[in-house]
Amino acid sequence: MSDLQSNPKDCEDNSDRKQNKKFRKYRIALTVAVCITLVLLGGALYVNSKLDKLQKDKDFKSTDVQINQVPAEVQEFMDGYTNIAIFGLDDEDGKGNKEKGIHSDSIIVASIDNQTKQVKLVSVYRDTYLNQADTKDSSKYHKANNAYFRGGAKQAVDMLNLNLDLDIEDYVAIQYDAIVAVVDALGGVEINVEEDEIFHMNNYIIDVSDVTGKRTQEILEPGPQTLDGVQASAYVRVRYTTGDDFKRTERQRLLISKIAEKAQSANLPTILSIINNVFPMIRTSLDKDEIISMAKDAGAYSIADTTGFPFDKNPDAHVGRMSCILVDDLVQNDKQLHEYLFEGESYTPSAEVLKISAELKDVYNKDVAKK
């Protein structure tokens, strides 16, 4: 996925555009329906004995999460949904249990309708310039993926809630050596490969193969085809076609949907294989009772739709030497987000979002004036 170096200086200037010479592990966050819910299809009682394989974040307390004071009618709509943050960590050394010092190069909000069990996925573009929810500096702004680097999952969740007026209280963080195992265990996934993706996929296939030790065939022609784990991880890394990083996040969400769809019909041995191999690569704030509760309705979950945030943006903006995505009107973007996630809601922004939106507008106008 991302070709950024995992270094604090990466977010400071355009040097982060340089491609890493080493293999950058795939930037994909598995949705709750994939990494938690659908791997529980083997049965709640059996899975209960396997949940110790998960890395439970005992320091993360939902009661400490920052949530804006939104109007009562807005909160009433959100109460009908469970919103979970999913982070794909820029974790080259595989130490996914780190709390800080790792960028979340994939940031996805999974919103679950508690009644229909439908899941909507929203990719928050990692380069979006947002308030960092830094308790020591409330005026600090940076790229969205920098929040996890500075303050771990807690600050990253706070950042999402603060800027998007959401009520996320839990998270799932995924190490990047999970996708090959999941896709291979499922026997591959069918993806319609476009002509302009082939060259880049084949380059990434070499990198993935070198690191994993798993060899596969190059992609020879466009069209629908079954991709194995190495090919799928190469697919979601492609970012140099039309659409750049925005198209890359579309590929991520498409792959998540394909995995979820195929896993729904997977047999018990396959599900247990995924549990044994993937659970150790997951860190989460969810406890056993919450996961088991979700597992009871595992077969009912489905991914209804996916999109990216922000909706209206300037993708070629600069703040100082830092290239980023700037939002002209955060309030309007949040309104679109809430209408998308919580159908029927009449969104009224919190005081916090109104303040952030005004500050971002000033930054946006300054960037426009320089051009």
| pLDDT attached to residue 203 | 93
Greatest pairwise CA separation for the chain in angstroms: 61
Of how many residues is the chain composed? 371
- Who contacts 39 (Cβ-Cβ below 8 Å, separation ≥6)? 47, 263, 271, 274, 275, 278, 279
Q: Which domains does the chain have, with CATH numbers?
A: 8-176+267-370 (3.30.420.590), 179-263 (3.40.630.190)
The DSSP output letter for 164 is H
Q: pLDDT tens-digit profile of 350-370? A: 999 999 999 999 999 988 888
- Who contacts 253 (Cβ-Cβ below 8 Å, separation ≥6)? 108, 121, 123, 306
- pTM recorded for the entire structure: 0.80
Alpha carbon distances (Å) from 266 to 45, 261, 262, 273: 18, 9, 7, 11
Instruction: Please state, as a whole number, how many other Cβ atoms lie within 10 Å of the Cβ of residue 114.
Output: 11
pLDDT in tens, the chain (371 residues): 333 333 333 433 433 333 333 333 323 333 343 444 343 333 444 556 566 777 888 899 999 999 999 999 899 989 999 999 988 876 544 444 456 667 787 899 999 899 998 889 899 999 999 999 998 888 899 999 999 999 999 999 999 999 999 999 999 888 766 788 889 989 999 999 999 999 999 999 998 888 778 899 999 999 999 999 999 989 988 887 876 678 888 888 888 888 888 877 778 788 778 777 777 878 889 887 777 676 666 667 778 888 999 998 777 889 988 999 999 999 999 999 999 999 877 899 999 999 999 999 999 998 888 86
Q: pLDDT tens-digit profile of 232-279? A: 989 988 887 876 678 888 888 888 888 888 877 778 788 778 777 777
- Who contacts 346 (Cβ-Cβ below 8 Å, separation ≥6)? 73, 74
**Cα distance between residue 112 and residue 360, in whole Å:** 29
Q: pLDDT tens-digit profile of 277-320? A: 777 878 889 887 777 676 666 667 778 888 999 998 777 889 98
10 Å CB burial of residue 362 (0-12, 13-18, 19+) is exposed
